[in-house]
Chains A and B, each alone.
Chain A
Amino acid sequence: MAFALIAVFVPLARKIRTGERPKGRWWNLIETLILYVRDQVARPSIGHHDADHFMPYLWTAFFFILFCNLCGLIPFLGSPTGALGVTAVLAASTLLVVIGTGVKKLGPVGFLKSQVPHMELPLIMAIPIVPLIFLIELVGLFIKHFVLSIRLFANMFAGHLVLAVLLAFIGETWGSSLVYAVAPASIGACVAVNLLELFVAFLQAYIFTFLSALFIGAAAHPH
């Protein structure tokens, strides 16, 4: 996966570096995705100026996840994002970037304080409520990123599971006359689900990157 990413983007970077207009379908396709992530995902979520600092991470995350997702569509290859170990590391990376951004912008204490939203409360109520909200928000910070990993994992794994179930119907009816009806239906359904998986591959890469950008933006500009 890493080699594929490097093989695609390093030669392309040499062409784009010249500042010339994109030529060819491949260059246009990849550059469209690159610009989409920057202009439609990162900049609206983080802000025009700050977003450029996070583009290397967001581009890497987007294309790493996309390539991993697309891997699952190639026969005899699995999708790495269909394993929780991979998606958890990706979500943990985003969490690190979020915490790093918050600490760099606001300082450690400022970042922790920023977890509590500003509330106009009487002192008597603020004393029990603010620590509680701080705790909830802190746990929520980790839960958000945990959900980020689960969402990606579940979507990719579910697609493979559905494919496996559809193909299992053929094995189950093998040897009986039902197989003549089941096999074409299963294969047709598998083709349809594969096309859906192709869409999901892009969608999940987008969602992960978009939510990462939102979390980073929230850490950089808490209020």
Chain B
Amino acid sequence: MLRLNLLAEGDAPVTALDPDLAFFTVVVFGLTFLVLWRFAWKPIAEGLDRRERGIADQIDRAKSDAAKAAETLRGYEAKLSGAAEEATRILAQAKTEAQAAGERILAEARAEAEAARTRALADIASAKEQAVRELAKLHVDSAVSLAGSLIRKEVDAKGHQDLIQDSLQRFASRN
């Protein structure tokens, strides 16, 4: 049979409340409580509170920064959108201006060309008239000389000049 002698003879039963042990437990537990309260739990509670406040502040700051960043992002996006519209507008304006400039240059070129043509035609007409005049004069001179030799009659200078003028007018009226 198992003989288990956990208690020596004369020992109090394990469920007995030892007054000395209880008294010293009161002293030890009480002193431990006071010392730990003053030197451990108070600083620990302060430190934990400080850390919690720090973490809460950091979270608040992070939230505030995130809100600011989102606001800035929205601003940039708005500016970007405005810039795209501005670029489109500038492009359209440049295109219009370029088209207008092109048309203006074309019109000027056409006008210049027309002016040059007109001037050339005038020159040609003038040259033609001059040539006709000279040719008529030559013909008249020849005719007068021939006629003079035929009629053996001398034509003086004034008569010669009047004959030329008259011939020229008639020639011009025929041309």
Interchain CA distance A192-B2 in the complex, whole Å: 22
Picked from A56, A60, A84, A164, the residue with its CB within 8 Å of the CB of B42 is: A56
Which residue from chain B places its CB closest to the CB of A86 in the assembled complex? B25
Would you list which residues of chain A between 51 and 78 have a CB under 8 Å from chain B?
52, 55-57, 59-60, 64
Picked from B2, B43, B50, the residue with its CB within 8 Å of the CB of A172 is: B2
B17: chain A residues within 8 A (beta carbon): 84-85, 88
Interface locus among B32-40, B68-76, B110-118, B125-133: B32-40
B26 within 8 A of A: yes
On whether A56 and B36 interact (CB within 8 A), knowing A13-B43, A85-B18, the answer reads yes
A9 within 8 A of B: yes
Interchain CA distance A64-B15 in the complex, whole Å: 21
Picked from B14, B15, B22, B40, the residue with its CB within 8 Å of the CB of A10 is: B40
A55: chain B residues within 8 A (beta carbon): 41, 45
Picked from A9, A19, A20, A85, the residue with its CB within 8 Å of the CB of B21 is: A85
Q: Does A13 lie within 8 Å of B25, measured CB to CB?
A: no
Interchain CA distance A34-B31 in the complex, whole Å: 20
Would you list which residues of chain A between 152 and 196 have a CB under 8 Å from chain B?
157, 161, 164-165, 168-169, 172
Would you list which residues of chain A between 68 and 122 have a CB under 8 Å from chain B?
80, 83-86, 88-90, 93
Q: Does A89 lie within 8 Å of B44, measured CB to CB?
A: no
On whether A56 and B41 interact (CB within 8 A), knowing A16-B48, A85-B21, A169-B2, the answer reads yes
Contacts between the two chains (Cβ within 8 Å), count: 114
Q: Does A157 lie within 8 Å of B44, measured CB to CB?
A: no
Q: Does B40 lie within 8 Å of A9, measured CB to CB?
A: yes
On whether A5 and B36 interact (CB within 8 A), knowing A19-B47, A164-B4, the answer reads yes
Interface size class of A (residues with CB under 8 A): 35 or more
Picked from B4, B21, B32, the residue with its CB within 8 Å of the CB of A83 is: B21
Write the nearest CB–CB distance from B75 to chain A, whole angstroms: 36
A5: chain B residues within 8 A (beta carbon): 32, 36
Q: Does A60 lie within 8 Å of B33, measured CB to CB?
A: yes
Q: Does B16 lie within 8 Å of A60, measured CB to CB?
A: no
Would you list which residues of chain B between 11 and 30 have a CB under 8 Å from chain A?
14-22, 25-26, 28-29
Write the nearest CB–CB distance from A8 to chain B, whole angstroms: 9
On whether A6 and B47 interact (CB within 8 A), knowing A56-B41, A83-B21, A84-B16, the answer reads no
B46 within 8 A of A: yes
B48: chain A residues within 8 A (beta carbon): 16, 34-35, 38
A49 within 8 A of B: no
Interchain CA distance A34-B48 in the complex, whole Å: 10
B61 within 8 A of A: no
Write the nearest CB–CB distance from A166 to chain B, whole angstroms: 11
**Sample (15) of A-B pairs whose CB atoms are under 8 Å apart:** A1-B28, A2-B28, A9-B36, A12-B40, A17-B50, A19-B47, A34-B44, A34-B48, A56-B36, A59-B41, A60-B29, A64-B29, A64-B32, A85-B25, A172-B3
Interface set of A (CB-CB < 8 Å, partner B): 1-2, 5-6, 9-10, 12-21, 34-35, 38, 52, 55-57, 59-60, 64, 80, 83-86, 88-90, 93, 157, 161, 164-165, 168-169, 172
